[in-house]
């Protein structure tokens, strides 16, 4: 299924999926809100660029904290609404909204801070990281700050019997009627289309594997063109294996470098009121510790959720990815929708390649190879 190219529909989806203020007010857990503070007037007068500003909420936070100037950049029509938000909050003297791509707009000065909510589902799908890199190379002054500073993408096999039962087993007996003839169609309807789901640590069969670590200060656009890794898991339990889940962490580090300097740009603080006792990473014991926003299964939900890559498989196949929005299959595939039973300590190994689509840099090609119990599988998909 392709995402509509109709501008009004695209704008609606953008607001639904990318706008921090609108999305997170509807969730039990708000994404860690980025705010700024400084110790004196000299530290407050810094220049910030907000890449992919959306409604401009992060730009407003920066301006309220005392930024000298904020450049809010967005290529979509949402920039027009951001301008209205700026005017409504009487910040037009501080925030300059630039409607255009980071690659095309002009800023005639170096900036102290780059801030961006660039992460997409599965971290890199439709992400703005390439634009952040461009902004860094064009405008960030030496020693400047990028928020977030680092990100890590993880993957792990998962089991999800409740979802399978709710979607499939229901048809075996409907009010005493044998509806099992519906099972093939039910599996197709339930698992052919991608889906974004919230899962918990109980769904995860193994320790996670790091697919990619991103250092926003050093990563290049060329590196984003293709990311590959080999994985080897060992199941910690006997369970039906339903697929792979992908999730990510982002870190806000490097703040201690600036807090010790009179030239300190804007620092940030986490309003993580919902951190569990086990989520100690989210609270800093001292300024040298990074703040962490995690979408891991064991952490409270965020609007990114987790993206299971479902493998409702039996022979040679891999079925759709459940990351962001919807995904288009690059080929006509034969899907097998039955889970694979794995034993405790059974090895699951293979490789995954994530590459930018030549059709559109925001799209992602996924090539996944997997083997376990003497059987092997291959899945290729294009996320559009």
CA-CA distance, 11 to 14, in Å (whole number)? 5
- The pLDDT score that the predictor gives to residue 193 is 53
pLDDT of residue 74: 97
Query: How is residue 163 written in tokens?
Result: 């979802």
Helices (H) and strands (E) in the chain — how many of each?
A: 10, 16
> What's residue 84's pLDDT?
98
Does residue 13 surpass a pLDDT of 60?
A: no
User: What pLDDT, in 10s, does the model give residues 265-282?
Assistant: 343 333 333 333 333 334
Question: For tokens 């603080």, what's the residue?
Answer: 269
* pLDDT in the model for residue 254: 62
Q: Pick the catalytic residue: 39, 41, 109, 117?
A: 117
Residue 240 lies in a domain: no
Predicted confidence at residue 215, as pLDDT, reads 96
Domain annotation covers residue 244: no
Q: What is the mean pLDDT of residues 15-25?
A: 46
How far lies 152's CA from each of 202, 283, 369, in Å? 21, 18, 21
**Is the distance from CB of 116 to CB of 132 less than 8 angstroms?**
yes
Is residue 117 flagged as an active site residue?
yes
Confidence at 223, pLDDT banded by 50, 70, 90: very high
Number of domains the chain is built from? 1
Range of the domain at 143: 7-148+252-282
Mean pLDDT of 50-73: 94
pTM value is 0.72
Identify whether 59 is part of a domain.
Answer: yes
- Asked if residue 57 belongs to a domain, the reply is yes
- Model confidence at 127, pLDDT cuts 50, 70, 90, reads confident
Residue pair 236/159 in contact (Cβ under 8 Å)? The answer is no
Higher-scoring residue by pLDDT: 220, 190: 220
- pLDDT band at 95; cut points 50, 70, 90: very high
Please give the pLDDT value at position 275: 34
Residue 137 lies in a domain: yes
CATH number at residue 116: 3.40.50.150
pLDDT at residue 316, as a whole number: 22
pLDDT value at residue 52: 95
Structure-model confidence comparison of residues 251 and 30, the more confident one: 251
pLDDT digits (tens, 9 = 90+) for 309-342: 443 322 222 222 222 222 222 211 222 357 889 9
In sequence order, the 6+-apart residues with CB closer than 8 A to the CB of 260 are none
| 126 in catalytic set | yes
In this predicted structure, the answer to whether residue 216 has a pLDDT above a threshold of 50 is yes
44 lies in a domain?
Answer: yes
Residue 99: the pLDDT is 98
Per-residue pLDDT band for 124 (boundaries 50, 70, 90) equals confident
CB 239 within 8 A of CB 205: yes
**From the candidates 9, 24, 27, 126, which is the catalytic residue?**
126
Band (pLDDT 50/70/90 cuts) for residue 261 is very low
Q: What percent of the chain has pLDDT over 70?
A: 67
Beta bridge partners of 73: 51, 98
CA–CA distances in Å: residue 372 to residues 159, 232, 246, 315, 352 = 15, 10, 19, 11, 15
239 part of a folded domain: no
- For the cut 70, the answer to whether the pLDDT of residue 104 exceeds it is yes
79 domain residue, yes or no: yes
Euclidean distance between CA atoms 212 and 229, whole angstroms: 8
């Amino acid at each position: 299924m392709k995402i509509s190219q109709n501008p009004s529909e695209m704008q609606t989806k953008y607001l639904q999926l990318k706008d921090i203020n609108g999305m997170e007010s509807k969730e039990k857990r708000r994404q860690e809100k980025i705010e700024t503070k400084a110790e004196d007037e000299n530290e407050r007068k810094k220049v910030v660029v907000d890449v992919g500003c959306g409604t401009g909420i992060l730009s407003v936070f920066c301006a309220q904290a005392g930024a000298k100037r904020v450049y809010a950049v967005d290529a979509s029509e949402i920039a027009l609404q951001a301008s209205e938000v700026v005017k409504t909050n009487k910040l037009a003297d501080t925030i300059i909204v630039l409607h255009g791509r980071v690659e095309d707009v002009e800023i005639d000065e170096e900036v102290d801070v780059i801030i961006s909510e660039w992460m997409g589902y599965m971290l890199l799908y439709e992400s703005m990281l390439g634009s952040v890199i461009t902004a860094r190379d064009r405008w960030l002054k030496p020693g400047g700050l990028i928020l977030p500073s680092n990100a890590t993408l993880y993957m792990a096999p998962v089991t999800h019997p409740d979802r399978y039962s709710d979607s499939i087993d229901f048809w075996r007996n409907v009010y005493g009627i044998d509806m099992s003839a519906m099972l093939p169609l039910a599996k197709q309807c339930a698992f052919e289309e991608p889906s974004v789901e919230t899962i918990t640590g109980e769904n995860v069969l193994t320790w996670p594997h790091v697919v990619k670590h991103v250092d926003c200060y050093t990563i290049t656009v060329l590196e984003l063109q293709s990311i590959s890794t080999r994985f080897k898991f060992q199941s910690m339990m006997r369970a039906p294996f339903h697929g792979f889940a992908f999730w990510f962490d982002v870190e806000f580090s490097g703040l201690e470098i600036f807090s010790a300097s009179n030239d300190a740009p804007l620092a940030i603080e986490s309003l993580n009121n919902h951190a569990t006792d086990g989520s100690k990473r989210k609270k800093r014991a001292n300024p040298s510790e990074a703040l962490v926003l995690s979408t891991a299964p064991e952490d409270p939900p965020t609007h990114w959720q987790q993206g299971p890559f479902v493998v409702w498989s039996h022979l040679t196949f891999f079925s759709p990815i459940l990351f962001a929005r919807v995904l288009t299959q690059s080929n006509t595939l034969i899907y097998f929708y039955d889970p694979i039973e794995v034993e405790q300590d059974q090895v699951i190994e293979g490789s995954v390649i994530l590459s930018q689509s030549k059709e559109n840099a925001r799209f992602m090609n996924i090539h996944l190879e997997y083997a376990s119990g003497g059987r092997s599988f291959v899945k290729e998909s294009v996320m559009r």
